[in-house]
Amino acid sequence: MKPIIYDYNLDQLQDWMKENGEPAFRGGQLFDWLYVKRVKSFEDMSNLPKPLREKLEESFQFVTLSEITRFESKDGTVKFLFGLHDNHAIETVIMRHDYGNSICVTTQVGCRIGCTFCASTLGGLKRNLTAGEIVAQVVTAQQMLDATGERVSSIVIMGSGEPFENYDATMTFLRIMIHEKGLNIGQRHITVSTSGIVPSMYKFTEENTQINLAISIHAPNDKLRSKLMPVNRRFPFEDVMAACRNHIAKTGRRITFEYALIGGVNDQAEHAQELADVLQGMLCHVNLIPVNHVPERNYVRTPRNDIFEFQRILEKNKINCTIRREQGHDIAAACGQLRAKHMESTTR
């Protein structure tokens, strides 16, 4: 299989040009066609000599994603189910906010982390995505937005998969996204969310970027977290918190804790108080996520008043806290559900 052109960062494209007897600046021209002009074929790259375009065509594949379905919500949210070259499917979401368009990308086909409230993990991990397959999700979304003159202004790596278990591809993707000669997405407008892969958290801290880090915490203590997230047995609660404290100390940047509220499981007043005690004094923000009903799992949604009470307790303890605004509710689907349905229909 030919490599995907989006797998290559600018330096690598320049190196490829040199190795193929072309001046390095051709790499810059190619990068510009990919990320600024966003053309869909080498043929369209009109300032590259024809023999070079043919060579690129022979050496790389261009299109990596085929649209299987697209759901558009009344609130503007667009959810894509994309097919990959090996017949796997992934989800990507565009969310419309007052402050711009945000895209939620997927980093793995499936996931092996096993969070009990998540549909993405039901079939386990199939494979890692390449950097180019992650990049292509943003480029494809941006191409759609180009039609209305809009742009992707922020990125969240919160789709299916654990980005820190596909670390190198995730970092290559991020470096392509923030490159000033490409899409030039502001680092502070990008968030990478992890279930708490502790060694990668330390590594990420050392990357010295301005990219936001979010931790899926979902419980205020080790015992309950292990029940909800088996990964906690590999990387215990206290180790995750130590990695968070290290990140804050070294980067001076605030961490976001994602907390999925599950009715009767982790959403009681005592859980809120315990969480507030653990986070006391940390530079952090808590994002409460009322869990979506996943038919395969036996969880119920937290009643509205209990959600507000949870928030009230955190705020009383001076912990910054928001409740995630639900988007795309009418097109259904918590993360992973579209793909799960697709898998079901294709294996029938």
Chain positions 166 to 205 lying near ligand SF4, rule: CB under 6 A, are 195
CB of 108 to ligand SF4, least distance (A): 8
CB 84 within 8 A of CB 334: no
**Nearer to ligand SF4 (CB atom), residue 65 or residue 335:** 335
Q: Cβ closer to ligand SF4: 45 or 115? A: 115
Question: Does residue number 107 form part of the binding site for ligand SF4 (CB under 6 A)?
Answer: no
What is the rounded distance in angstroms from the CA atom of residue 271 to the CA atom of residue 160?
27
200 annotated ligand-binding residue: no
Query: Distance between CA 63 and CA 187 in Å, rounded?
Result: 26
Q: Does 134 bind ligand SF4 (CB under 6 A)?
A: no
DSSP letter string, 8-76: --HHHHHHHHHHTT--THHHHHHHHHHHTS--SSGGG-TTS-HHHHHHHHHH-B----EEEEEEE-TTS
Active site residues: 91, 335
Residue at 157: amino acid letter: I
Tell me if 284 is assigned to a ligand binding site: no
Angle at 114 between CA 228 and CA 343, to 5 degrees: 130
Q: Least distance to ligand SF4 from the beta carbon of 67, Å?
A: 22
Find the binder of ligand SF4 among 27, 161, 182, 328 (CB under 6 A).
Answer: 161
- Give the whole-angstrom CA distance, residue 131 versus residue 248: 27
CA dihedral 329, 330, 335, 337 (to 10 degrees): 140
Can you tell me which of 73, 92, 102, 121 binds ligand SF4, judged by CB under 6 A? 121
Residue 120 within binding range of ligand SF4, rule CB under 6 A: yes
Residues 205-234 that bind ligand SF4 (CB under 6 A): 216
Question: What b-and-e string marks burial along 53-89, b requiring 16 or more CB atoms within 10 Å of the CB?
Answer: bebbeeebebebbeeeeebebeeebbbbbbbbeeebb
Q: Is 216 annotated as a binding residue?
A: yes
- Rule CB under 6 A: choose which of 17, 113, 174, 319 binds ligand SF4: 113
- Which residues define the annotated binding site for S-adenosyl-L-methionine? 161-162, 193, 216-218, 292
Q: By the criterion CB under 6 A, which residues form the site for ligand SF4?
A: 111, 113-115, 118, 120-121, 160-162, 195, 216
- Which residues define the annotated binding site? 111, 115, 118, 161-162, 193, 216-218, 292
